[in-house]
Amino acid sequence: MSDLVRDGAQRIIKQAVQAELDAFLQAHTDRDGAGRREVVRNGYQPERDVLTGVGPVSVALPKTRDRAGRGRRFSSALLPPYLKKTRRLESVLPWLYLKGVSTNDFDEALKALFGESVKGLSASTISRLKVGWEHEYDTFRERDWRGHEMVYLWADGIYVNVRAAERRCVLVVIGCDSHGRKHFLAIEDGFRESTESWKALLLSLRDRGVTVAPKLAVGDGAMGFWAALAEVYPKTAVQRCWVHKTANVLDKLPQRIQPQAKGHLHEIWQADTRHHAEQAFDRFVATYDDKYPKATACLQKDRAELLAFYDFPAAHWRHLRTSNPIESTFATIRLRTAATRNCVSAKSGLALVHQLAMSAQKRWRRLRGFKQLADVINGVQFIDGIDERQLSRKAA
């Protein structure tokens, strides 16, 4: 079965490279004085193995010749020069290390995943990769964001275990720019999500180009972040994460009624208008306040912050009601690093988390309804997710 899959991968790669070559030749159809094509096929480069998720695949890259001597040469985007491993394998390496696999055990682990033909991944190779990861992380921390106006922010603190059973907090911020593209803005070491740690992070972002206050920030109940946000970006609106709030409220209710209460909470944030959400909110309080005042108090203290998303485009609600962009990315990282001799240090741990984050970021899609971000930036008012100008035209 593995051989069949590998053969299929080889055919697909060959077809894709051929398509790239055909497009290249089609773009260079110039002819010389004798009517001959100036750019022509010229055999193949030496065959080489590329390590993929299904094992090593042999590939031979086509070559071209420019008879006019103008330096036009075919180059494959799928198989760039010197490619030895696919990106999937590169992303597996930090996962293994972060999960506690020691450098010396990588060979056995990779053989189990990719077969017996894994080569070039010795302990020294992994060590060199780690140095490269740390350099990439340092570069990430200094990136200049001038020219990228961030409309929305998502923030959260991710706790992981490191060497000597030390539990560290990683402060994570994701931003959505005016084109609807999400970016990791910060992955920093923090101290229990303190105001000082968050303030230092936000000030760093401001110094690196995030000078215009985002329109909305989404996060959980960590008071440190909100206090810091009020100091650095006082004009940014606040949206509390409904996933975190739901968990906090249900934790204050008996387990037997939690499924019912969860349904009532969903009626609030899934309501189509703020008015209906307010009604569902009041029903929840009236239903549970007498017997479970701690649960209703937990919900009511953030009432305005929980319903802030109604002042933004309805197409954006699914992105703004929770801190899911961070939670979904880090779901398999949170609390996964066991406190053993193989665990990473704080320095290398942040570099590895950065690698995993960058790998996840490549698969992100643009914000749904991203064209309405221009209206948000320009201060257009939205009522229950609808542009007030549309409401005015309907009323007229």
Share of the chain above pLDDT 70, in %: 74
Q: Which residues does residue 62 pair with via DSSP β-bridges, in sequence order?
A: 44
Q: What is the mean pLDDT of the chain?
A: 82
Inform me whether the pLDDT recorded for 346 exceeds 80. Answer: no
Of 34 and 120, the structure prediction assigns the larger pLDDT to 34
Whether 83 has a pLDDT exceeding 60, the answer reads no
pLDDT at 106 over 80: no
> What is the sign, positive or negative, of the torsion defined by CA atoms of 118, 119, 122, 128?
negative
CA dist., res. 369 & res. 309, Å (int): 14
Residue 190 has pLDDT above 70, yes or no: yes
CB 242 within 8 A of CB 310: no
pLDDT of 152 higher than 60: yes
Q: How confident is the model at residue 338 (pLDDT cuts 50, 70, 90)?
A: very low
* 258-289 pLDDT, tens digit each: 999 999 999 999 999 999 999 999 999 999 99
User: Mean pLDDT over residues 354-368, rounded?
Assistant: 84
Rounded Cα gap, residues 101 and 337, in angstroms:
10
CA atoms within 13 A on the CB side of 215: 24
CB 146, CB 360: distance < 8 Å: no
User: Residue 183 half-sphere exposure, CB side, CA atoms within 13 Å?
Assistant: 20
Whole-number pLDDT of residue 10: 66
- What residue type is assigned to position 250 of the chain? L
CB atoms closer than 10 angstroms to residue 186: 23
- Examine the pLDDT at 227 and tell me if it is beyond 60: yes
Contacts 24+ apart (CB under 8 A), 20-23: 20/74, 20/76, 20/77, 20/78, 21/62, 21/64, 21/74, 21/76
8 A C-beta contact, residue 287 and residue 264: yes
Q: Give one word for 53, left, alpha or beta, with left for phi > 0 and alpha for psi -120 to 50.
A: alpha
Q: Mean pLDDT across the stretch 153-168?
A: 71
Beta-carbon contacts of residue 386 (< 8 Å; ≥ 6 apart): 314
pLDDT for residue 277: 97
Backbone angles phi, psi at 385, to 5 degrees: 85, 0
The 8-class DSSP code of residue 35 comes to S
Among the residue ranges 270-284, 315-329, 352-366, 376-390, the one predicted with the least confidence is 352-366
Length of the chain: 396
Structure tokens at 28: 């260079």
User: By CB neighbour count within 10 A (0-12 exposed, 13-18 middle, 19+ buried), where does 335 fall?
Assistant: exposed
Mean pLDDT along residues 281-308: 96
Of 6-10, 189-193, 271-275, 383-387, which gets the smallest average pLDDT?
6-10
Helix (H) or strand (E) holding 184: strand 182-190
- pTM, full prediction: 0.71
pLDDT at 140 over 80: yes
**CA pair distance 230, 241, nearest whole angstrom:** 17
In the structure, what pLDDT confidence band is assigned to residue 118 with cuts at 50, 70 and 90? low
Tokens of 113: 């995943």
- pLDDT of 47 reads 80
What string of DSSP letters covers 83-98?
A: --B-HHHHHHHHHHHH
pLDDT band at 307 (very low <50, low <70, confident <90, very high): very high
Distance CA 174, CA 182 (A): 7
- At residue 151, the pLDDT reads 97
Supply 34's token pair.
Answer: 């004798």
End-to-end Cα separation, the chain, in angstroms: 67
Exposed, middle or buried: residue 67 (CB in 10 Å: 0-12, 13-18, 19+)?
middle
**Highest mean pLDDT, choosing among 72-86, 319-333, 379-393:** 379-393
Phi, psi (degrees; rounded to nearest 5) at 54: -110, 20
Give the distance from CA 115 to its chain's centroid: 30
**Cα 76 from chain centre:** 27
